[in-house]
Chain A
Amino acid sequence: MKNRRSVTFNHNPLLEKGLPVWRPRLVLLGLLACSLTLVGRAAWLQGFNNEFLQAEGKSRYSRVIPVPATRGRITDRNGDVLAVSTPVRSIWAIPSDARLSPADTRSLATLLEMDVPELNRRLDSERDFVYLKRQLAPEVARRIADLKLPGVHEHQEYRRYYPGGEVTAHMLGFTGVDDRGQEGIELAFDAQLKGMSGSRRVIRDRRGQIIEDVESIRPPRDGENVALAMDAKIQFLAYSALRHAMQTHKAKAGGVVVLDVRSGEVLALVNAPTFNPNNRSGLSGAQLRNRVLTDVFEPGSTMKPFIGALALEQRKVALDTIIDTNPGRMTIGRATISDVRRHGPLTVGGVIEKSSNIGTVKLAMHFTPDEMWQMFDELGFGTPLNLGFPGEASGRLRPARSWRPIEQATMAYGHGVSGSLIQMARAYLAFARDGELLPLSLTRVDAPPAPIRQVFSAETARQMRQILERAAGPEGTAPKAQVAGFRVAGKTGTAHKLEGGRYTDRYISSFVGFAPASNPRIIVAVMIDEPTAGQHFGGAVAAPVFARIVEGTLRSMGVVPDAPVAPLHVAGKVEMPPVPKERM
């Protein structure tokens, strides 16, 4: 060992040899370049291109959270709630994460009110996201959250409730599962009703509590409330009266609309058959149809007063002009028009009171098709009302050029021209309001709107009110329209239904009228489709509905009676309608 020459580190022969000058310089240069690169990179990240890292940093503590907004409420004219949204929870799962023990599955299924196999089927789904149940009550959702099941989550949604149920179903329509309007007012006023959820940025601490509000990205905007013109009381009256008539006459369908004569507001709008908007499973199209607004029908005799008014207005006849309706039959071209029975000579008033087809056709023969077309057009037939309601019907009014004489004759008594029930009701505004038409409104209006146009003179309208009052009286076609304490006026209609271009022996019975006759406040239009219990005349089927609605409505509006209150001797008046059971 001693002999071995030890080489210490200091005396490394390699070092003694000396290095070429360029080598340390090269290394130094390399190190310098490295550090410059680092400094440059740091400057780049810190100074020039710092958004990415800043965003990353922020995302560690700041969060953007949504701020929910609720859909507006729908109320009636007195502020009673007709539709309101309340929060509910939807339970969803990530099937691959949801590994539940049989006991957990059972308790979850009980809370969800589902079968265990059904729940298992959903949890075995291939998808990444499945809804287990939507729109659960918050209490149930809380109990599910307390189970602390893996892979089972919940989120908040809104559900719309309609306390009025079937009574207000057609008017309000409904919303879909996403809280957006799908039918009726909900759709028509969706822009106003829907809320805009906002979002804001906050800082959370490690326990997830919000400790600082950084900024409001978009403030939430709750939906506006909509106050309808509808009066819940009148709506219910109309609903129960219509329902009663539907049962008594075993009718297929029906509709009622009540208008405020002074403001053009729609106080009630009811259709039958109806549906429960709170539980919409198994609905049929017939139930959903809003017949009053979207279905047109040939009105029949309720058209006659307009012809009479036009004849008086243009002085083609005077109030005492005699029109001979003998022999109760009349031939135009190859067609024959007839009356239900022979009425003999009648005045203009008598023609409308007795609802004589012959008399009306004779009155209509004074006019050219153009004159009649113009009146129908001014009354609003053939033009939609533009209430903003989805699917509003315009009715059918063909151009006057194409009218054949027989068509002009049938149109005089309401066949060959069609309109919706609400169009009929509005046209009667011309009689109830000294000849003017008002725009209608589904929402509450504060001041009466400006009239659209004057169709008849005030004098003609006044004369027609007297004629229509007699038409609804003991001598007319609708004594059953009488109401204790109030003078009423109106006209019946009994129209054959048109099916496949032919008139059938099925009928639409209707009644359009107003009250009190001395100073009209409301217009009530009633339509009953296919009464099958024996009676089909408007005076027997639709007029009693009118009477019941007018009586209750005027009383609830506090209108002073304009007739002496005396016991009426009208059959069936005292009998009470069965009370409809409310289902929620």
Chain B
Amino acid sequence: MQGISTSARHDARCHGVRCSRLVPLLFLLFFCALAASAQTVSQQQIADLQRQVTEARSNADNGWMLVCSALVLMMTGPGLALFYGGLVRRKNVLSTLMHSFAMMGVVTVIWGVVGFSLAFGPGTSFIGNLQHLFLHGVGAAPDPDYAGTIPLQTFMVYQLMFAIITPALISGAFAERMKFSGMLLFLSLWSLIIYSPMAHMVWGKGGLLNASLGGRFPCLDFAGGTVVHITSGVSALMCALYLGKRKDYPLEQLPPHSVVLSFIGACMLWVGWFGFNAGSALSAGSLATSAFVATHFAAAAAALSWMAAEWIHEGHPSALGGISGAVAGLVAITPAAGFVGPMSALLIGLIAGPICYLMVAKVKVAFGYDDSLDAFGVHGVGGTLGAILTGVFASHYVNPMFKDAQGNVTGSGLFDGNAHQLLNQFAGVAIAWILAAVGTLILLKIVDVTVGLRVTQEQEVLGLDLTQHGQEGYSVD
């Protein structure tokens, strides 16, 4: 560099700017650029992460709910099928299995076409509309009113399994004497006229009894004490009264042909019930756990208490008593499962066992009606008991359901400081009873004058397997 002055030589310069100032300036510029680009990256990353977390949570809930749907279907086939099948005589075992199996087919079609819409579509306080006819609008997108993290289609198929097992339960009352064609027509109509409306009232949008969506009489029914057990149990009683007794009842001996089959079925019911109750949490979180635990504890307590009652009354605890007790406990905890803690569940089971036992062993015999497989004694009475006990034991610590005007959580049940809830429970119970009783009698009459309800005496003696289905359950070879 020629001609630079002495002062310039001491002061190094880059493009006219002093070097000693340039370096920190360059560093500053570098970090600003870095910071600017880093900020853009992290906003996008956060959005991505948020979406992934939502998706992961949705997948977890959906996986759980699909498994629960399968569990509840298993409760019908082969759970209930075997439980009932083992209790009838050998010559009627297939027809009893077919009562449950037929529902797996028939109710699926009805539900898909119109049943789901009537139950869960928006509509009145009593019934849904036809918005979801042919499952229109039921796809991958969740419906936040019902279950915000799973596809509506999952919710639909889960509820379908409930719709299947409910009419199947009724078959316990008319086993060994019902015409297959009459049964198909009767239970199809029942699903539309009794099940869908009841499901709508308790669980559907705008439902009269819906505790989660602001119903007029919020009835706490977690998994279907009123919707499933009271309706089917009371209908069963109506069927038993209308159809009349089996030809051989009560004079002839009618013991179960295979308590072993019933045992297998009952254990499947117990395991499947986790899908029924815990799945009613509609997500895989801690409420599902709570319901799972309550379900199990009630079953165990009721199995023991039924056996104890039998031991005292008859001198032996029997296998059939044990499994019947477990089922009674499961029925009783169904409305309560997501609202009570494990100790309350034990109490509910403890109470349900002897009460249902007395119903089937004493009351049924005293009144003389032929509820062949005790559908009313266990489901009708157990469900009623459970629905009322839900109003007693429901706790906001387990599941906060109600808020006051200021938005604070208030008590759920009697022991939780909310005695008023018992009235709502009674409302749900009463509506279930009346709908089931009146509706069933009307439907029975319709089917009786059209297709016919009962097989002939000769068919009853020969057995329904041969006369209704042309097959034997067990062949000699």
**Physical interaction between A and B:** no
Show the binding face of A for B, using Cβ within 8 Å: none
Show the binding face of B for A, using Cβ within 8 Å: none
